Amino acid sequence: MDTRKENGLSRRDFARTSFVAGAAILSSAHASAKETSAETLKIGVLGCGGRATADLARMLAGNTYVKVIALADLFQDHLDAFRKEFENHKADEVRLKVDIKDDHCFVGWDAYRRILETDIDILMETCTPYIRPKHIEAAAEAGKHLFAEKPIAVDPAGVRRFMKAMEKHKEKGLSMVAGTQFRHDGARIETLKKIQEGAIGDILALRSYYCGGLPFVVERDPKWGDVEYRLRNWYNYCWCSGDNIVEQAIHGLDHCNWVMGGPPESVFATGGRTWKPLTEMYGDLWDHFCCDYTYANGVHLAQYCRHWDGCDGAGDIAVTGAKGASNGLDKSDWQGDSTMQEMVDLVNSIRGSGPRAHDGQRIAESTITALMGRMSAYTGKRVTFKEALESELGIVPDPLSFDMPMPVGPIPTPQVKPNPALKYR
């Protein structure tokens, strides 16, 4: 029997104020687990954007004896809005676990250092992806438990930095959960177990989709310099987000790696930029990718992702076996919220009341899986996992300052060698 936390709230609904009743029910159920002797865990949030809003709400509502005491962000307005949101939250099981003092609010390039100097137990790293390896490295040195959003880097250099930090983090006995929540989804866990037991026979092929619209664009305020605008409109620049295959499609790729027991050996990919205007606001990203990944046993994964507003969408996987097929979650009746469950699993790991959670190795592998797809598509070359992991590619500008110029692009283009034109035909 699966004893994981269950609730019927969707990810989007729970992020909004409509989760008041559900949060109260969850808290009551969780309190009955007799955690009254548990020491309250103190949480700090590094990166006060939209994703952090949803993540922290689930962390607070899904667990007892936790409270958020510190915030950090590059921008004062982001931090202020975030603090106001939680101090006035409509859900008691969120608002009553907020204890943020002025001297625990940090803004600026060094905010990450200052929040780590506080007595927080858990750091929730929910910043823009480009800076995540640096923050996680510092958190490992400071001895903090971690929730880190995905991806954990936007280039191979960042992944290797992350992996080195995770070795130290794990050696210290700390817990770490990454924001690829499918691994905490009861339906997917039960379905994968049945697949591994032979429910659909030997796996023959996989498909993965992350096809939807562009998440957002931000108009430029005339008072913003280049760097500030890049970071406020971060999704649309490769060095900030990693492009859509890395920032979003990693969910399906991680799921497929889980099904296959590890990452693929190679990828052959293509893609492009179909509709985006050549303007600063729309940045330098492509808007679609199509990748053919090959695993060690010869099984292929066809991966599709795109940002085409107004078109049909898809966001699932398909596993084809010799005796049947599965979408990765169809062999279970579990109806929980995996984005809350990952927070529960982290806290249980820290308290020793659940399995040890440390996602460092596998989220690094899944980030490289996404990066190798991007690298193959951008270059027009087949790329192996080993080549991607060992690549010296680093795309993040360092150091950064608000007064430096930051031109956009160029838009990645494979180095094609056209055949000579015919003189006549």
Q: Among 315, 82, 316, 307, which residue's Cα sits nearest to residue 216?
A: 307
Q: Are residues 227 and 288 in the same domain?
A: yes
pLDDT band (50, 70, 90) for residue 420 = confident
Q: Are residues 287 and 251 in the same domain?
A: yes
Q: Is 77 helix (H, G, I), strand (E, B) or coil?
A: helix
Question: What percent of the chain lies above the pLDDT cut of 70?
Answer: 91
Number of domain units in the chain: 2
Q: Are residues 319 and 195 in the same domain?
A: yes
The pair of structure tokens assigned to 274 is 């179909």
Q: Are residues 27 and 44 in the same domain?
A: yes
Q: Are residues 132 and 196 in the same domain?
A: no
Domain limits for position 292? 189-334+366-390
* Residue 97, domain CATH: 3.40.50.720
pLDDT of residue 409: 86
Residue 194 to residue 259: CA distance in whole angstroms: 11
What strand order describes the sheet that includes 383-384? 325-326, 317-321, 203-212, 300-307, 288-294, 266-272, 383-384
Q: Are residues 133 and 194 in the same domain?
A: no
Q: Are residues 32 and 81 in the same domain?
A: yes
pLDDT of residue 30: 45
Average pLDDT over residues 362-391: 98
For residue 17, tell me if it sits in a domain. yes
**Stretch (H or E) spanning 15:** helix 11-15
For residue 399, tell me if it sits in a domain. no
For residue 149, tell me if it sits in a domain. yes
pLDDT of residue 6: 33
For residue 301, tell me if it sits in a domain. yes
For residue 404, tell me if it sits in a domain. no
Pairing, β 66-73 against β 41-46: parallel
Predicted confidence (pLDDT) at residue 18 exceeds the cutoff of 50: no
Predicted confidence (pLDDT) at residue 89 exceeds the cutoff of 70: yes
Query: Tokens 């619209």 correspond to what residue?
Result: 213
Q: Are residues 83 and 213 in the same domain?
A: no
Q: Are residues 194 and 210 in the same domain?
A: yes
* Residue 293, domain CATH: 3.30.360.10
Predicted confidence (pLDDT) at residue 361 exceeds the cutoff of 90: yes
Question: Residue 107: beta bridge partners?
Answer: 73
Q: Are residues 152 and 201 in the same domain?
A: no
**Stretch (H or E) spanning 206:** strand 203-212
Average pLDDT over residues 205-233: 98
For residue 240, tell me if it sits in a domain. yes
Length of the chain measured in residues: 425
Predicted confidence (pLDDT) at residue 11 exceeds the cutoff of 50: no
For residue 408, tell me if it sits in a domain. no
- In the chain, what are the helix, strand and coil shares in percent, each to the nearest 5? 40, 15, 45
Average pLDDT over residues 362-379: 98
State yes or no: cis peptide before 410, omega within 30 of 0: yes
Of 21 and 281, more confident: 281
Q: Are residues 114 and 204 in the same domain?
A: no
Predicted confidence (pLDDT) at residue 3 exceeds the cutoff of 50: no
Average pLDDT over residues 218-242: 98
pLDDT of residue 20: 41
pLDDT of residue 38: 53
pLDDT one-digit tens code per residue, 276-326: 999 999 999 999 999 999 999 999 999 999 999 999 999 999 999 999 999
Task: Kindly state the DSSP code that residue 184 receives in the 8-state scheme.
Answer: G
pLDDT one-digit tens code per residue, 22-37: 444 444 444 433 333 3
pLDDT band (50, 70, 90) for residue 16 = very low
Distances (CA, A) of 180 to 149, 184, 250, 325, 352: 8, 8, 8, 23, 22
Average pLDDT over residues 118-145: 98
**Stretch (H or E) spanning 239:** helix 238-241
Average pLDDT over residues 230-237: 98
Average pLDDT of the chain, as a whole number? 92
Q: Are residues 136 and 78 in the same domain?
A: yes
Of 35 and 168, more confident: 168
